């Protein structure tokens, strides 16, 4: 059912107050086609919604917001791995925990990432040394203009760091309806990320006997210790991508700032955006209704339920300051609408 003039504040984790001209929650493929047909007839732009954790509403949305509520989760273990077929409306963390509870390894490093399954491939979610593309098999997506279903392989998705074809040349052309993952049967734990490694050492665990469930629990504890839950303090998780620079820029910054936090990424270096923002003096700062989290500078928070303009204004100020101080460009992770 299509509803008019609906408040989107409950549907975005930054709790930004904004309305959408039209709203539909779809739970079947036919309902999704009907919603798309309605938008086409009225020539409306479309805002796909999952958990609302990767969007910034800069104002009222003049089109149709479609909350994708497709459900269904099929997990087939094989050895320490197996296959997973998940509908787009399933919660990402629920998928991860459902797999590790069955002894399957491969997704545990991605525990507690907010949002739903359908959004995961769009920005190629990643955490603690693992990215979705490492476990990806294929996905199904509905073409917005025709209502037809299409299959996409990993190469079709053109995955890159926090990027995919759905943020590039196919942006706003498809709505993802199902994601299929393949987890290796000869799973081995991946716990070299410093914060995760430190937690495991503190627990006195033997890295050679770790289970996927143990690692998922460790990741959850580490994330909870550093990141605020959106239902407690409105936020969209990590607001900026970690900027990737060449070796020359990295070496120059390292010479100026010996404690610079960075990670090798092929021939390039991935700088910790949180470190840059923190060193620029933004951690814990409040600007009217919005601010920067006091524990993790990478997270912008909206405790005062401020406007999208307040959030984007703060983001621009931070990016400008980091550019001036370090010569590095910060790029937001969430997408701005409209």
CATH number of the domain bearing residue 329: 3.90.78.10
Question: What is each CA distance from 96 to 46, 110, 182, 218, 312, in whole angstroms?
Answer: 29, 7, 13, 13, 31
Number of structural domains found in the chain: 3
- 165, 183, 201 - which closes a domain: 183
Phi-psi region of 15 (alpha: psi -120 to 50; beta: other; left: phi over 0): left
User: Pick from 313, 67, 267, 79: which is nearest to 182 by CA?
Assistant: 79
Quick check: 40 and 145 in contact, CB under 8 A? yes
Q: What is the CA radius of gyration of the chain?
A: 20
Q: How confident is the model at residue 246 (pLDDT cuts 50, 70, 90)?
A: very high
* pLDDT value at 207 more than 90: no
Sorted by sequence, the CB contacts under 8 Å of residue 155 that are 6+ apart come out as: none
Q: Are residues 160 and 89 in the same domain?
A: yes
Q: How confident is the model at residue 194 (pLDDT cuts 50, 70, 90)?
A: confident
Quick check: 88 and 68 in contact, CB under 8 A? yes
Q: Is 121 part of a structural domain of the chain?
A: yes
* pLDDT value at 46 more than 90: yes
> How many CA atoms are closer than 13 Å to the CA of 207, on its beta-carbon side?
13
Q: Is 137 part of a structural domain of the chain?
A: yes
> How many CA atoms are closer than 13 Å to the CA of 176, on its beta-carbon side?
30
- 35, 68, 101 - which closes a domain: 68
Calculate the average pLDDT of the chain.
96
What's the rounded mean pLDDT across residues 249-262?
Answer: 97
CATH of residue 13? 3.30.43.10
Please state the three-class secondary structure of 197-251 as a single string. Answer: HHHHHHHCCCHHHCCHHHHHHHHHHHHHHHCCCCCCCCEEEECECCCEECHHHHH
Sorted by sequence, the CB contacts under 8 Å of residue 121 that are 6+ apart come out as: 132, 136, 139, 157, 159, 164, 166, 176, 179
* pLDDT value at 94 more than 90: yes
Q: What is the pTM of this model?
A: 0.95
Q: Are residues 109 and 173 in the same domain?
A: yes
Q: How confident is the model at residue 2 (pLDDT cuts 50, 70, 90)?
A: very high
Q: Give the separation between CA 277 and CA 240, rounded to whole angstroms.
A: 10
CATH of residue 93? 3.30.465.10
Q: Are residues 62 and 85 in the same domain?
A: no
Instruction: Output the CA angle 43-7-317, nearest 5 degrees.
Output: 90
Q: Is 230 part of a structural domain of the chain?
A: no
Q: Are residues 43 and 89 in the same domain?
A: no
Active site residues: 162, 238, 333
- 145, 166, 183 - which closes a domain: 183
For residue 285, give its domain range.
235-337
Q: Is 272 part of a structural domain of the chain?
A: yes
- What pLDDT, on the 0 to 100 scale, is given for residue 239? 97
* pLDDT value at 66 more than 90: yes
Sorted by sequence, the CB contacts under 8 Å of residue 90 that are 6+ apart come out as: 71, 72, 73, 116, 117
Q: Is 192 part of a structural domain of the chain?
A: no
What's the rounded mean pLDDT across residues 64-90?
Answer: 97
Q: Are residues 40 and 77 in the same domain?
A: no
| 3-state SS, residue 258 | coil
User: Count of CB atoms within 10 A of residue 293's CB?
Assistant: 22
Phi-psi region of 324 (alpha: psi -120 to 50; beta: other; left: phi over 0): alpha
Q: Is 222 part of a structural domain of the chain?
A: no
Longest dimension (CA), the chain: 61
Q: How confident is the model at residue 30 (pLDDT cuts 50, 70, 90)?
A: very high
User: Residue 322: which H helix or E strand, with range?
Assistant: helix 308-326
- What pLDDT, on the 0 to 100 scale, is given for residue 193? 87
Q: Are residues 121 and 34 in the same domain?
A: no
User: Pick from 39, 41, 73: which is nearest to 142 by CA?
Assistant: 39
* pLDDT value at 124 more than 90: yes
* pLDDT value at 208 more than 90: no
Q: Give the separation between CA 176 and CA 29, rounded to whole angstroms.
A: 11
- What pLDDT, on the 0 to 100 scale, is given for residue 261? 95
- What pLDDT, on the 0 to 100 scale, is given for residue 267? 93
Q: Is 195 part of a structural domain of the chain?
A: no
* pLDDT value at 162 more than 90: yes
């Amino acid at each position: 059912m299509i509803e008019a003039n609906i408040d989107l504040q409950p549907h975005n984790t930054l709790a930004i107050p904004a309305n959408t001209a039209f709203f539909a929650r779809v739970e079947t493929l036919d309902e999704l086609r009907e919603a798309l047909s309605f938008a086409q007839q009225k020539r409306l732009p479309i805002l796909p919604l999952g958990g609302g954790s990767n969007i910034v509403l800069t104002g009222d949305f003049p089109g149709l917001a479609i909350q994708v509520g497709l459900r269904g989760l099929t997990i087939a273990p094989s050895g320490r791995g197996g296959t997973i077929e998940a509908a787009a409306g399933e919660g990402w963390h629920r998928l991860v925990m459902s797999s590790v509870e069955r002894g399957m390894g491969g997704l545990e490093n991605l525990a507690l990432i907010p949002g739903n399954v359908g959004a995961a491939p769009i920005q190629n979610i990643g955490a603690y040394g693992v990215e979705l593309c490492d476990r990806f098999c294929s996905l199904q997506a509905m073409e917005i203009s025709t209502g037809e279903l299409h299959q996409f392989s990993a190469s079709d998705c053109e995955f890159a760091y926090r990027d995919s074809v759905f943020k590039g040349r196919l942006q706003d052309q498809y709505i993802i309806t199902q994601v299929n993952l393949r987890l290796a049967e000869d799973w081995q734990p991946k716990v070299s990320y410093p914060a995760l490694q430190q937690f495991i050492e503190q627990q006195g665990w033997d890295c050679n006997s770790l289970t996927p469930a143990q690692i998922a629990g460790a990741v959850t504890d580490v994330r909870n210790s550093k990141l605020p839950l959106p239902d407690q303090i409105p936020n969209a998780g990590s607001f900026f991508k970690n900027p990737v620079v060449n070796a020359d820029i990295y070496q120059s910054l390292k010479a100026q700032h010996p404690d610079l936090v960075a990670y090798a990424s092929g021939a390039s270096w991935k700088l910790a955006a949180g470190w840059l923002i923190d060193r620029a003096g933004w951690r814990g700062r409040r600007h009217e209704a919005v601010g920067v989290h006091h524990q993790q500078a990478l997270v912008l928070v909206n405790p005062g339920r401020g406007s999208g303009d307040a959030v984007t204004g703060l983001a621009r100020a931070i990016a400008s300051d980091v550019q001036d101080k370090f010569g590095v460009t910060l790029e937001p992770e969430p997408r701005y609408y409209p």
